[in-house]
Chains A and B, each alone.
Chain A
């Protein structure tokens, strides 16, 4: 059975939801406390949403120094799947595992609302089960979700197909409507929207399933 580690920082709050998302798809989820340095035995790692260490300085700026992040870095360098959702995405950019940064939303307010995403690339552990051009209704829930990067980075992202998801109707001022990016190898992915919140029509949308299915299935391809 696929074993997914869900990293829990003090202040994380989407850890149960992330675990529920992958568990519904047949994976086994285990919480990994932020002081842990051993990720052996996991097939994939999720950094969930929330406010790690309170996010008082800047989202993710403190969390990148948690002991677990060195292990996450090694895990990623080994080519194994790492997914950062919302605050997890912010942590991955702060840790230098993904390019760019997340700044405050254009309207300077927190936004919790459904968004429509367009799959731009299937060359990542998150989008491997989706199809290019596919539209997915998945909610956002953040204050600092406007993706930004310099021109050279943007050019590189586009050239390498590292932009994996874009907003159809940009809610937060993200550069080039970017909602999610991957590293060059495609095994590390971050996105601001919450696929784990879109797992059931009872809750409004089941469009997140195709993303997490790709992620849960990714370890097979990596091995």
Chain B
């Protein structure tokens, strides 16, 4: 039996129905180049075609939001004439195949999204998810990804100030590498990726264009890994779709672009990321309602014999597209020459075409020379904005009730709390020591704590005493059991982390990592998760100002657990003193602030906890999200810590959010960092030791009576836990460990697992 060759549109990732849509848009048969342009622009990664109708349910507005979702980055007004731009993205599949370059180019791409807005990138954070380290391939992935982030981020000169590190077998074949970047700019310098002004020039800045990353968004990012051994079986076939990064080029590109913006030479600017030149030219033209002529022969190439579709869709890194007036070209060329950044005029902004019905449409024309043959001609908007939207079938997983019924809360044996607690402790310092976390002299609280806290300062910014705080959070264990409540609680967890450094949450960005959207169960998870995020954001008064959806995180037909990652940006109004952190002192009273029992029918649920999953119990139920209770505790703690940051006197000497590993892990982490023990009263069984639900804080105070009065006035419950001192962590009759054992175990856990010790 002979098999017919696969039709071209399918090889490019387009369905038969999408080919029909393209014929309707054009009113004719597309040529091969045009098909290739649609193939990348209508990919899941670029078009959000499976998720967009659900994302509309998220709240996006607040008075301080300057730019919401849909632009290169979200932007808020942080006060004092300073705007903060923030964006989060995934680089999952490239990192699965080529961990160093995948992670490195993820950093490069997110930086460009931020300086495209006119902001100087000031920090990066990296939430990372791998399989268990007992597998050699996972150790190779971790070392590759971390050194890629370190190698690129340190060299390009943007500090990496935090992130997350999660190990779970559901990521063994499909690791997640998310990256968040925030930057700041004088509010009046905000620029958008818009092409306007017929006759203006589109100037390509930065690297030459090669064959690296062709089809990255479609072939790589918008399809799962087929083999049941995950990425390994497809390494070779997909490797050409991974881009290669050059942080030195990016550093000069950042400086040149910020200098161009400072000089007022730029009408609009857009980064080249996924889908390369076709994406940047069609998006800028679509936003400006104009047409764009692109001369494919004007684009500097690094490889011979590249054909137009390769040139137009290449994802070569470290490139930007600036729209400038012709009069400014000499100044732009000179500035780029100083920074040794290549600049080439590759496009002209042209009049939209007026159709017979009187409507005008901006056409993206790819030409062989500006006066030469037209190789492709399609409406720019049809590429950028008019991909088909899918309401894909959704179905609640049939086994969900059985999974929820398998609840470890009541029937999982207690075991040894001492051993269980030690097994939960992991100090991520091996990772973050490899990151420059201090550049720009802003880092007040760096990696490894509840949230990162930066002075709001940087080259070219007006003076400010404010600080910004950022936390990235996720809890796939919750979300697997209940994506709606799990996502809502993740948002709350993030807000609680910000409170620990005195910050009030201002805006959310999200990176929604899910499995194959063609599986109805995955679409149900995604839809539920978005509803949970909407509920939490509405309840806590938070706008979502940007995000990224990463689908097809599957391998061999098996989807990852739903992994919505929340990035929360907060502001501290006055930052002149560091927050207390975890640094309690001998003799301090230790208290638990916030509701002691979870909302719902279980006081101390263990479903989805690290304690239970570590024992192989993945079932159970998730606590309810209750905005009022959570907001009360979070706001109280944020205000207490903000007073310390503002230089006020306070009896509060330490604060730590209770999260992964529960109350026991929170106490042990504080013991490990200070080297000072604590004697804690008997708790309500092992449930209270290891249960995880947000809105609880361990705090230490030198004046517990005054503290309790303030908490009482705010209506926030306070429970006395014990007194700081001595060389042991004692929790009632359940836990009794020497400080040294905790410290050594926690410090070495990662190195031992990576077999570096």
Chain A residues with a Cβ under 8 A of chain B:
10-11, 13-14, 16-17, 20, 33, 50-51, 53-56, 109-113, 139, 141, 143, 194, 196-197, 199-204
Cβ of A112 and Cβ of B251 under 8 Å apart?
no
Cβ of A197 and Cβ of B248 under 8 Å apart?
no
Give A14's nearest chain B residue, CB to CB. Answer: B439
In the complex, B147 has a CB within 8 A of chain A: yes
Give A52's nearest chain B residue, CB to CB. Answer: B248
Q: How far is the CB of A23 from chain B (nearest CB, A)?
A: 11
Cβ of B147 and Cβ of A16 under 8 Å apart?
no
Q: How far is the CB of B638 from chain A (nearest CB, A)?
A: 19
Cβ of B248 and Cβ of A11 under 8 Å apart?
yes
**Interface 0/1 of B246-257, CB less than 8 Å to A:** 111001100100
Cβ of A10 and Cβ of B251 under 8 Å apart?
yes
**A55, A113, A200, A204: the one within 8 Å of B155 (CB):** A55
Cβ of B459 and Cβ of A51 under 8 Å apart?
no
**In the complex with contacts A10-B339, A13-B251, A112-B440 CB distance below 8 A:** no
Please give, as numbers and ranges, the residues of chain B lying within 8 Å of A204 by CB-CB distance.
578
Docked complex Cα distance between A203 and B444 (Å): 5
Cβ of B444 and Cβ of A202 under 8 Å apart?
yes
Give 16 A-B pairs besides A110-B154, A203-B442, A204-B578 with Cβ atoms closer than 8 angstroms. Answer: A10-B252, A10-B340, A11-B248, A16-B459, A20-B441, A51-B155, A51-B251, A54-B248, A109-B150, A110-B433, A111-B433, A141-B438, A194-B438, A202-B455, A202-B575, A203-B441
Cβ of B441 and Cβ of A197 under 8 Å apart?
yes
**Interface 0/1 of B180-198, CB less than 8 Å to A:** 0000000000000000000
In the complex, B576 has a CB within 8 A of chain A: yes
Give B156's nearest chain A residue, CB to CB. Answer: A13
**A109, A112, A203: the one within 8 Å of B147 (CB):** A109
Cβ of B247 and Cβ of A54 under 8 Å apart?
yes
**A16, A112, A194, A202: the one within 8 Å of B578 (CB):** A202
Chain B interface, number of residues (Cβ within 8 angstroms): 36
Docked complex Cα distance between A120 and B730 (Å): 44
Please give, as numbers and ranges, the residues of chain B lying within 8 Å of A16 by CB-CB distance.
440, 458-459
Cβ of A202 and Cβ of B576 under 8 Å apart?
yes
Please give, as numbers and ranges, the residues of chain B lying within 8 Å of A10 by CB-CB distance.
248, 251-252, 255, 339-340
Give A20's nearest chain B residue, CB to CB. Answer: B441
Give B153's nearest chain A residue, CB to CB. Answer: A110
Please give, as numbers and ranges, the residues of chain A lying within 8 Å of B434 by CB-CB distance.
109-112
**Interface 0/1 of B453-486, CB less than 8 Å to A:** 0010011000000000000000000000000000
Cβ of A13 and Cβ of B157 under 8 Å apart?
yes
In the complex, B72 has a CB within 8 A of chain A: no
Give A109's nearest chain B residue, CB to CB. Answer: B434
Cβ of A203 and Cβ of B438 under 8 Å apart?
yes
Give B249's nearest chain A residue, CB to CB. Answer: A54
Give B246's nearest chain A residue, CB to CB. Answer: A54
Please give, as numbers and ranges, the residues of chain A lying within 8 Å of B248 by CB-CB distance.
10-11, 51, 53-56
In the complex, B436 has a CB within 8 A of chain A: yes
Docked complex Cα distance between A55 and B246 (Å): 11
Please give, as numbers and ranges, the residues of chain A lying within 8 Å of B459 by CB-CB distance.
16
Which of A11, A111, A141 has the largest count of B CB atoms less than 10 A from its CB? A11
Q: How far is the CB of B446 from chain A (nearest CB, A)?
A: 9
In the complex, B443 has a CB within 8 A of chain A: yes
Cβ of A197 and Cβ of B438 under 8 Å apart?
yes
Q: How far is the CB of A12 from chain B (nearest CB, A)?
A: 8
Q: How far is the CB of B270 from chain A (nearest CB, A)?
A: 24
**In the complex with contacts A109-B434, A202-B577, A196-B247 CB distance below 8 A:** no
**B155, B338, B458, B575: the one within 8 Å of A54 (CB):** B155
Give B255's nearest chain A residue, CB to CB. Answer: A10
- For this complex, 9 residue pairs linking A to B, each with C-beta atoms less than 8 Å apart, are A10-B339, A50-B157, A51-B155, A110-B435, A112-B436, A112-B438, A141-B439, A197-B438, A202-B575
Please give, as numbers and ranges, the residues of chain B lying within 8 Å of A110 by CB-CB distance.
150-151, 154, 433-436
Q: How far is the CB of A8 from chain B (nearest CB, A)?
A: 9
Give B340's nearest chain A residue, CB to CB. Answer: A10
Please give, as numbers and ranges, the residues of chain B lying within 8 Å of A53 by CB-CB distance.
248
In the complex, B90 has a CB within 8 A of chain A: no
Q: How far is the CB of A170 from chain B (nearest CB, A)?
A: 15
**B147, B252, B440, B575: the one within 8 Å of A11 (CB):** B252
**Interface 0/1 of B149-174, CB less than 8 Å to A:** 01100111100000000000000000
In the complex, B437 has a CB within 8 A of chain A: yes
Docked complex Cα distance between A81 and B561 (Å): 59
Docked complex Cα distance between A110 and B149 (Å): 11
Docked complex Cα distance between A113 and B154 (Å): 14
Give A196's nearest chain B residue, CB to CB. Answer: B441
Q: How far is the CB of A104 from chain B (nearest CB, A)?
A: 13
Cβ of B444 and Cβ of A11 under 8 Å apart?
no
Please give, as numbers and ranges, the residues of chain A lying within 8 Å of B156 by CB-CB distance.
13
**10 residue pairs, one from A and one from B, having the closest CB atoms:** A13-B157, A54-B248, A51-B155, A110-B434, A110-B150, A16-B459, A112-B436, A17-B441, A141-B436, A109-B434
Q: How far is the CB of A169 from chain B (nearest CB, A)?
A: 14
Within 8 A of A (CB), among B410-453: 432-444
**A54, A109, A112, A196: the one within 8 Å of B437 (CB):** A112
Please give, as numbers and ranges, the residues of chain A lying within 8 Å of B436 by CB-CB distance.
110, 112, 141
Please give, as numbers and ranges, the residues of chain A lying within 8 Å of B339 by CB-CB distance.
10
**B255, B435, B438: the one within 8 Å of A139 (CB):** B438
Cβ of A17 and Cβ of B439 under 8 Å apart?
yes
Please give, as numbers and ranges, the residues of chain A lying within 8 Å of B440 by CB-CB distance.
16-17
Docked complex Cα distance between A54 and B157 (Å): 11
Q: How far is the CB of A177 from chain B (nearest CB, A)?
A: 19
Please give, as numbers and ranges, the residues of chain B lying within 8 Å of A143 by CB-CB distance.
154
Give A201's nearest chain B residue, CB to CB. Answer: B578
**In the complex with contacts A16-B459, A54-B155, A55-B155, A11-B435 CB distance below 8 A:** no
